[in-house]
Copies of this chain bind each other. A is one copy, B any other.
Amino acid sequence: MYKETHARSVIKLISWRFWASLTTIALVLLFVGEIKAALLVGITEVVAKIILYFFHERTWDKIRFGKKEIQPLILWFTGLSGSGKSTLSETVYKELMKKDIKTERLDGDTVRNIFSKTGFTKIERNEHIKRVGYLASRMEKNGIFVVASFVSPYRESREFVRGLCNNFIEIYISTPLEICEKRDTKGLYKKARNGEIENFTGVNDPYEEPQNPEITIDTSKLSIEKATEKVMKYINKKM
């Protein structure tokens, strides 16, 4: 967060007025050829322009035209492990950064790394998602976009988060289980199948599909580039 000090504003203003009126004096001198007239115009201009600037700003402040209020969005990516949530949400996050939009990135793995004691039972998962959703809603309240990627397998907590936020956009990454398991980027499906991991969504824990997601994307059918485009198109329409 940068702030301009009063001193900077004042000195910059004086600097502008000095060079601007010097230009005017030069122009009058050029076209009229009288130094006295040029100085008179220049000096009077300083006062006249300050007054004009004041009223010009006041008037435009009252004109609503072109003042666009941006409501932050909570972009919530949900889907199985290996579905492409994190990859896609990362590219969307980068696109938002390019547009100079203040955005917070929340990712399941990152948050769980900090809170390593968070369990994977239905109750623990729901509580976890509700807490992250609360964080997201506070961000939204402060004008910050959120890009969140969490398996978030249960409807209950997803709907709870929807209720906390003003603009909750549920993005369901619907890549089929077989594909996610084939990818098995983190080797977790194999472990779950071997019984080494309990409560693994898709293997020994359910995934409740969203019933009315704002966006649905199957990354086995859509490339990351096209999927990013689809999400960005939706965001641009909303903004």
Q: A interface vs B, CB < 8 Å? A: 1-5, 7-9, 11-12, 15-16, 19-20, 23-24, 27-28, 30-32, 34, 37, 40-41, 44-45, 48-49, 52-53, 56, 60, 65-72, 102, 104, 106, 111, 114-115, 117, 127, 130-131, 134-135, 138-139, 141-144, 164
Contacts and interface: CB of A to CB of B under 8 A. Distances in A.
A117 B128 CA distance: 12
B23 A66 contact: no
Nearest to A65: B8
Contact of A32 (B12, B24, B37, B104): B37
26 contacts: A1-B71, A1-B72, A1-B102, A1-B143, A2-B68, A2-B69, A4-B68, A5-B67, A8-B66, A9-B66, A31-B40, A32-B37, A32-B41, A41-B41, A102-B142, A102-B143, A104-B138, A104-B141, A104-B142, A106-B138, A114-B134, A115-B127, A115-B131, A115-B134, A131-B131, A142-B142
